[in-house]
A and B are shown apart, each in its own frame.
Chain A
Amino acid sequence: MKNYIKIIALGSILSLASCSDLLDTEPRQSLTPDTALADVNGYESLLATAYTGARSFASYGQSLMIAPEIMADNLRIIANTGRYIGQEVNADRQHMGLWGNYGAINVTNIIINGVDAVEGDATRKNRIKGEAFFLRALYYFDLAKVYGYEPGKEVNGWNNSVIIRTTPTLSFSDADFKARSTNRQVYDLIESDLNTAIGLLPSAAQGSNGIYRVTKGAAEALLARAYLYDSKLPQAAAMATQSMTTFNLGNDGTGLSTPANYVSGFSTYPNPESLFEIEIRSVDWSTVDGVNNSMCTLTSNVFTGAQFIVTASSELIAAYEIGDIRRNAWIATTRSGATGTVFRSAKWLGTKGDFLENLPIMRASELFLIRAEARFRTDAPGARSDLNALRSKRGLAAVDAGLVGDALFNQILKERRVEFALEGHRWFDLKRNGLTISKHSNNQPVPYSDYRLLAPLPQDQLILNELLVDNPGYN
């Protein structure tokens, strides 16, 4: 009998003894911040995350490439899958949504505020920090373009831009509520971040593998773009020149793709004209992202199962001059359910296999167009020669030497339109110049003063954060 008691007692003691580490557990696939960010390697890993924000489908992965085209006059829907149907007709609230950028912005803030304090090679730390400054500027720039007017282009004085956060959220108390900053403040931050980045970043050759990470030249190029949006035109021209110097681009267009290589460049990784390109690997996608969400599936029919929902508008096709090699970025084909000839994109061909391709964020030709526009708007010489340098690499003759004024400006805009078709510039090029958003076929143009020029803020954030006000016109 006593034996039974002993057995039970032993069992009980054993089972209790086994819980001596009573309530200790480990989240084995995660680290604490102290461990993870103890050295420069941790920040390098954070930086990888900061890059991934750019390839999300709300950003350059899809929406920032397609929406600015279809919300203006470059694309039209040829298959109704529900996607971009509202954007095509500029329906209420059918816009771009980039509030998710703040996730990556917080990562850049952690890096910028923390990397200096850890052990590690100073060059490496500077580079990481420089990349973080660049990426923070890029994400804020995209937010500013979508949610606010450019400085000096306000309608009815509406200068609200987005919320600025430059300190990291590391704990609950950091996640306080903030109001929107002015567009001036946001652009100041973008320009300051990029200037800092330029001082920290190394250089790499245009079109080399080095441009998968941001470089000094890319920061200069983005800063030139920011100055242009900000109407700081002499600075824009100067910074474009500086970037061209960094990338060894000649004023005559040397360094740009030849006419024979323009289209194929988009199936070359990296694109020979890329100043900054986001690399995507198949592991970055879930099994269905290629067929569901990639640029290739939406704009082309090269793979079985591709959705091919958008094609070039006839207005865009008509915008190509005869002999323009860029016209070859559209290949005539047919689409069941769509009448007549439609065009599939030859820029987004998924040449890495199964819809996979990289995302060029900035290409060299943009520097010529930035400088041409900046020079034109400041009446500085060289606008036409910058255009001609680009045109010489696109199979086109020089523009008329007497081209001036509105005609020249329109030529610059048209050059941008065809150069960057399906690269997400069109809407922003019209908007930042205060122009009516022109539309294709029978869709109604959107006057610059229309409330739909600015995206609505996320509804849940407006309710949550009493300091936040929506853009005008959204009920």
Chain B
Amino acid sequence: MRKVLLIGFMFLMANVVAFAQSRVITGTVISSEDNLGVPGATVLVKGTTIGIATDLDGKYSINVPAGSNVLVFRFVGLSPQEVNIGNRSVVDISMEEDIQSLSEYVVTSYGDQSKREATGAISSVKGEIFENLPVQSFDRAMQGRIAGVQVTSTSGQPGGTLNVRIRGVGSINAGNDPLYIIDGVQIASGGLSGQGNQNALGSINPNDIESIEVLKDAAAAAIYGAQAANGVVIVTTKRGKKGKSLVKVSVQEGIVQPLNLYDVMDASQLAGIKRVAYQNRGLATAGADATYGNPEDPNLESSDWLDALYRTGRLSVYDVSISGGDEKTTFYLSGSYTKQEGQIEMSDYSRATGRLNVTHRPSKNFTVSANLSLAFQNTNGSIANGNFVNSPFVAGFSARPNVPIYNEDGTFAPYPSNHLFGYNIAQGVAQELRSGKTVQTVSNIQMSYQIAPWLSFTSYFGLDFSDNADINNRPSTIPVFSSYGGASTVTARRATNFNTNHNFNFNKKFNDVHTVSGILGVEYKGSQSDLQTATGRGFPNPTLIYLNNAATPFAVGSFFTEYKRAGVFGQAKYDYDDRYTADFTLRRDGHSRFGEQNRWGTFYAASAGWRLSSEAFLQDVTWLDNLRVRASYGITGNSDIDPNDLDRSNFGSRTLVGSSGQYLGQGGLNLSQLGNDLLTWEESETFNFGLDATLFNGRIITTVDFWRKNSKSLLFNTPLPVDSGFGSITRNTGEVRNQGVDIDIQTVNIVVGKFQWSTGFNITFLENELISLYDGKDRVGNDLIVGRPIQFWYTNQYQGVNPSNGRAMYDDGTGTGNYTYIAGQSTLDYRGTGLPTSYGGLSNTFTYGPVTLEVFFQGQFGNIASNADIFNLGNWGSGTGNLTVDQLNYWKQPGDVTTVGRPFEGGQEAGTSAVNTFSTRLLSDGGYVRLKQVTLNYRLGSAAASKIGMASASIFVQGLNLATFTNFNGIDPEVVSITGNTTFGRYPNARQISAGINLNF
């Protein structure tokens, strides 16, 4: 493989012309790995365009003009080096393998391939980009870094899950999550705990990651056939290298702060508007005063609920690794501990990880390797993401400011029972235990035998196993739980994902120009998960929380599910002289989820690449280092039947009779699901046309992909008339089209002396359209409409407050622009998509000698987002809780032009729709640009480092989520953007500021 690369580069570089002459420097470039010459390496005179390539033995000779004294050596896969010539006429150098440049290699679990050869759409991000970022999972580290990949938080809970969407949202009911493969282990993504948002991907310490590759089109992903419709994320962890052992230690400490909380009223402000609301309803204002306080009372005190709930948390990250090896064995051993406190009291996340990656070659042809990891994650969660009275993200803002939080003696004060169910949110957060502990391993063993120089066989076994223990204790000290003496719910979950594959890899070159390579293999995957849960009530003492302390066993539950998948696959690749590449992949997969007659599906892809820059007619274009076009077409599959429906997801093809409560002690059974034994794979058809170019001696590297993805035969929950007794049945029908362009540009903008400015920029433009539904229907309720994106807002057009009477006006739906006070079906219409039409990231890196500053922005545009918090906090004084201060600008008399209508207790004025009618009043532009990361790093000179006994050392300070530019009307535009409707009380992201030190021995 390497040889192909080398020869290619020789062709490229042989034409670099040397100009002025002053002195001739010669030398040999060798690789530190094998001490052999490196052919085709670039040798550049720094600050000039003068360069040459090394010959087959790694030797070079270059004319260096007067005034120039630095040579730059570059080779793919090796670290670039700058060397001072000084008085020498011979400069020999040894180049080290560049562990950061693995993007040039694409790792699949069935064998590696050079990215230079790859004809599919593949993007990658190197581990160094996110090394030492205080993020808990690698999916967050991908955010804004990869064209075509959209990453948004579902929750700002530390260690929480994220939504990752590769090239849009293709499925309506089936899963849209990509396939994650960690060192070949096909893992289950999602959440692990029920008590806090705990990310299954968090078991992998991001600092252990060498690189992340994202396979975006069918050509890249078809080898994963059945699971690949939503793209594939391949994570490769670090491995040891032979030679001196390398010890790395890093320590980081920092703080976590709330971003942008709502500004809510104080007691007299709220009491004032509530009086008006009572008056307008015709109620005695004494009622308002009794509940909210007398606004004229100068002694009315305000409680600061937010202060009692929110905090500046602490974050700590400790990492240590040692790697090394000899001719036969290499290893990478690491351990880490991280703890991050959330912005809410009691909410935190801690994790300890250990990893051993070892490779051993007992003989020349036999390799055995193992990647063993163990992670312990502990989340103390918050109730979030819903309109819950015991959520600090709802009640923290709504809690009445005139109600004291604490009694005189410092204990928690009772909260009035007519609001928030009498729940003192500060007490609830402080005293309710919501803990999720998970032990997880993602490990594998792999054995390879080199049968012939061109043929090898590999057996691979991977395991993703997690064991979760949740406990939720609601102590009797909280008044609403006192009637039954408190309760504890204990839940145990266990998930096992096993996959194994056995494959031949071949690679043979004929006549120096024809290279044929490929893979032939079989794969099996089994997945099982189960759950047991029990609740006990009546604890004699609130500090006792275990079930054996409970007086009353209250409820039990359990769940089991499983699936199995098997497949055979083959891939053949042909390369002619590094100019033409063709690639064909075929895979056949069977899945237990589908009807017996429809289990097996065939997936395939074909792709071709043409490297124009290797053609003779471009040999004279010196500024063009590399130019290549690629095209691909293929079909991949999706078997994730509605992942939100526990029965349907794995057994959707079967009609099931399940348990359904009890009556008089007789356990109930019910037809819980209508099956469809015709059910089979959802298919994703992808077209991709790509262009890779490298210009001006690597100063500009760009990749542009134009793509279209047609998701067909969707695993679609087609609605049934509810009067049939069922809401829907899953059928293979409907089509969704996503199309767009992914652009990625890496540039080195300025190099002046010690100063360098480089930029990485990626952006994706995409559009989503529902092409068809089922049975010729053109819509499903107000949820899906053919010709529209698959997520949109279909609601009333709010026309503001009528200045004459303070009532809310809605477009009356007649097309005249006239208003109505009563919203109904006829006033609903399409009001914009919830899906972004573009997203991307921009990273600028400034280096001056040992100082590096990275400034990274991430953003998305074009989506309309809803903020249901307005129902609670912006209801014009009609509700029972606190409000944002902008509500003080309410309508007072005819003629008032305002955005806040006439306060009316209950919000249900006769002849007017309820004030909390869903309308565009709750919608706003969800687009944002966020200053995601700023890192300032100072690298100690190697001389100075060695003085203190280290190979290198650096210190850094960094900030995350430092600034956000948006018109969104809620707290955090990032946590609402994909998931649509449930926008009450989201746990927002936090600002993080930290400082740390890296030491390499």
A19 near B564 with CB under 8 A, answer yes
15 other A-B residue contacts (CB within 8 Å) besides A31-B669, A49-B669: A1-B363, A1-B365, A5-B449, A25-B651, A30-B651, A32-B657, A37-B657, A48-B669, A78-B418, A88-B908, A282-B555, A283-B555, A287-B489, A305-B422, A460-B782
Q: Mark each residue of chain A from 155 to 170: 1 if its CB lies under 8 Å from any CB of chain B, else 0.
A: 0000000110100111
A33 touches which of B483, B657, B721, B822 (Cβ 8 Å): B657
Q: Which residue of A lies closest to B524 (CB)?
A: A19
B558 CB within 8 Å of chain A: yes
A48 near B483 with CB under 8 A, answer no
B879 near A80 with CB under 8 A, answer yes
B723 near A99 with CB under 8 A, answer yes
B781 CB within 8 Å of chain A: yes
Chain A residue numbers with a CB within 8 Å of B599 are 23
Chain B residue numbers with a CB within 8 Å of A119 are none
Binding site for A on B (CB under 8 A): 282-284, 286-287, 290-291, 362-363, 365-366, 416-419, 421-423, 447, 449, 457, 459, 461, 474, 479-484, 487, 489, 500, 502, 522, 524, 526, 535, 554-555, 558-566, 590-592, 599, 647, 650-651, 654-664, 666-674, 676, 719-726, 729, 779-782, 822, 824-827, 878-880, 905-908, 910, 913-914, 916
B566 near A23 with CB under 8 A, answer yes
What are the nearest 8 A-B pairs in CB distance? Answer: A106-B725, A305-B480, A175-B724, A36-B657, A79-B418, A45-B669, A49-B668, A48-B668
The interface on chain A, measured as residues whose beta carbon lies within 8 A of the other chain's beta carbons, has a size of 109
Bound state CA distance, A474 and B826, in angstroms? 9
Q: Which residue of B lies closest to A52 (CB)?
A: B661
B781 near A464 with CB under 8 A, answer yes
Chain A residue numbers with a CB within 8 Å of B479 are 304-305
B661 near A464 with CB under 8 A, answer no
**Assuming the A-B contacts A337-B416, A474-B824, are A7 and B655 also in contact, with contact meaning beta carbons closer than 8 angstroms in the complex?**
no
A175 near B720 with CB under 8 A, answer yes
B663 touches which of A5, A52, A78 (Cβ 8 Å): A52
A96 to chain B, nearest CB (A): 16
A212 CB within 8 Å of chain B: yes
A77 CB within 8 Å of chain B: yes
Query: Which of A10-18, A188-196, A220-228, A422-430 sits within the interface?
Result: A10-18
B18 to chain A, nearest CB (A): 51
Bound state CA distance, A404 and B510, in angstroms? 112
A-B contact pairs, 24 of them (CB 8 A): A4-B365, A19-B524, A25-B563, A29-B558, A29-B559, A29-B658, A30-B651, A36-B657, A79-B418, A79-B419, A85-B914, A102-B723, A103-B725, A105-B725, A109-B725, A175-B720, A213-B664, A283-B555, A292-B421, A301-B417, A307-B418, A308-B418, A337-B880, A474-B824
Q: Mark each residue of chain A from 70 to 88: 1 if its CB lies under 8 Å from any CB of chain B, else 0.
A: 0000000111111001101
Chain B residue numbers with a CB within 8 Å of A89 are 908, 910
Chain B residue numbers with a CB within 8 Å of A458 are 722
A352 CB within 8 Å of chain B: no
Bound state CA distance, A4 and B880, in angstroms? 74
Q: Which residue of A lies closest to B914 (CB)?
A: A86
Q: Which residue of B lies closest to A1 (CB)?
A: B363
A91 to chain B, nearest CB (A): 5
* Interface hits, A254-312 → B, CB 8 Å: 279, 281-284, 287, 290-292, 301, 303-309
Q: Which residue of A lies closest to B285 (CB)?
A: A339
B671 near A284 with CB under 8 A, answer no
**Most interface-central of B480, B555, B673, B723 (chain A CB within 10 A):** B723
B679 to chain A, nearest CB (A): 11
A322 CB within 8 Å of chain B: no
Chain A residue numbers with a CB within 8 Å of B563 are 25
Chain B residue numbers with a CB within 8 Å of A7 are 447
A402 CB within 8 Å of chain B: no
Bound state CA distance, A4 and B672, in angstroms? 51
Q: Which residue of A lies closest to B457 (CB)?
A: A8
Chain B residue numbers with a CB within 8 Å of A172 are 674, 676, 720, 729
Q: Mark each residue of chain A from 187 to 221: 1 if its CB lies under 8 Å from any CB of chain B, else 0.
A: 00000000000000000000000001100000000
A444 CB within 8 Å of chain B: yes
A1 touches which of B366, B489, B500, B822 (Cβ 8 Å): B366
A32 near B655 with CB under 8 A, answer yes
Bound state CA distance, A7 and B878, in angstroms? 74
Q: Mark each residue of chain A from 103 to 119: 1 if its CB lies under 8 Å from any CB of chain B, else 0.
A: 10111011000000000
B591 near A23 with CB under 8 A, answer yes
Bound state CA distance, A281 and B362, in angstroms? 66
A4 near B564 with CB under 8 A, answer no
Q: Which residue of A lies closest to B600 (CB)?
A: A23
A324 CB within 8 Å of chain B: no
Q: Mark each residue of chain A from 308 to 333: 1 if its CB lies under 8 Å from any CB of chain B, else 0.
A: 11000000000000000000000000
B421 touches which of A105, A110, A305 (Cβ 8 Å): A305
A82 touches which of B487, B826, B879 (Cβ 8 Å): B879
A36 to chain B, nearest CB (A): 4
B664 near A30 with CB under 8 A, answer no
A475 near B880 with CB under 8 A, answer no
Chain A residue numbers with a CB within 8 Å of B474 are 287
B667 touches which of A45, A109, A463 (Cβ 8 Å): A45
**Most interface-central of B474, B500, B651 (chain A CB within 10 A):** B500
A91 near B721 with CB under 8 A, answer no
B669 near A165 with CB under 8 A, answer no
**Most interface-central of B283, B662, B910 (chain A CB within 10 A):** B662
B533 to chain A, nearest CB (A): 11
Q: Which residue of A lies closest to B670 (CB)?
A: A49
Bound state CA distance, A35 and B658, in angstroms? 11
* Interface hits, A399-436 → B, CB 8 Å: none
B908 near A15 with CB under 8 A, answer no
A121 CB within 8 Å of chain B: no
Chain B residue numbers with a CB within 8 Å of A171 are 655, 674
Chain A residue numbers with a CB within 8 Å of B667 are 45, 48
A338 CB within 8 Å of chain B: yes
Chain A residue numbers with a CB within 8 Å of B672 are 30
Bound state CA distance, A303 and B489, in angstroms? 22
**Assuming the A-B contacts A27-B651, A29-B559, are A48 and B661 also in contact, with contact meaning beta carbons closer than 8 angstroms in the complex?**
yes
Q: Which residue of A lies closest to B812 (CB)?
A: A475
Q: Which residue of A lies closest to B528 (CB)?
A: A25
A109 to chain B, nearest CB (A): 8
A224 to chain B, nearest CB (A): 25
A42 CB within 8 Å of chain B: yes
Q: Which residue of A lies closest to B560 (CB)?
A: A28
**Most interface-central of A287, A307, A462 (chain B CB within 10 A):** A287
A24 touches which of B283, B502, B564, B781 (Cβ 8 Å): B564
B42 to chain A, nearest CB (A): 41
Q: Which residue of A lies closest to B364 (CB)?
A: A1
Chain A residue numbers with a CB within 8 Å of B449 are 4-5, 8
B530 to chain A, nearest CB (A): 9
B555 near A459 with CB under 8 A, answer no
Q: Which residue of A lies closest to B418 (CB)?
A: A79
Bound state CA distance, A94 and B913, in angstroms? 10
A31 near B656 with CB under 8 A, answer yes
B824 touches which of A32, A105, A337, A475 (Cβ 8 Å): A475
Bound state CA distance, A81 and B418, in angstroms? 7
**Assuming the A-B contacts A24-B592, A46-B670, are A86 and B721 also in contact, with contact meaning beta carbons closer than 8 angstroms in the complex?**
no
B781 near A459 with CB under 8 A, answer yes
Q: Which residue of B lies closest to A21 (CB)?
A: B564
**Assuming the A-B contacts A11-B447, A475-B826, are A23 and B664 also in contact, with contact meaning beta carbons closer than 8 angstroms in the complex?**
no
Bound state CA distance, A79 and B142, in angstroms? 48
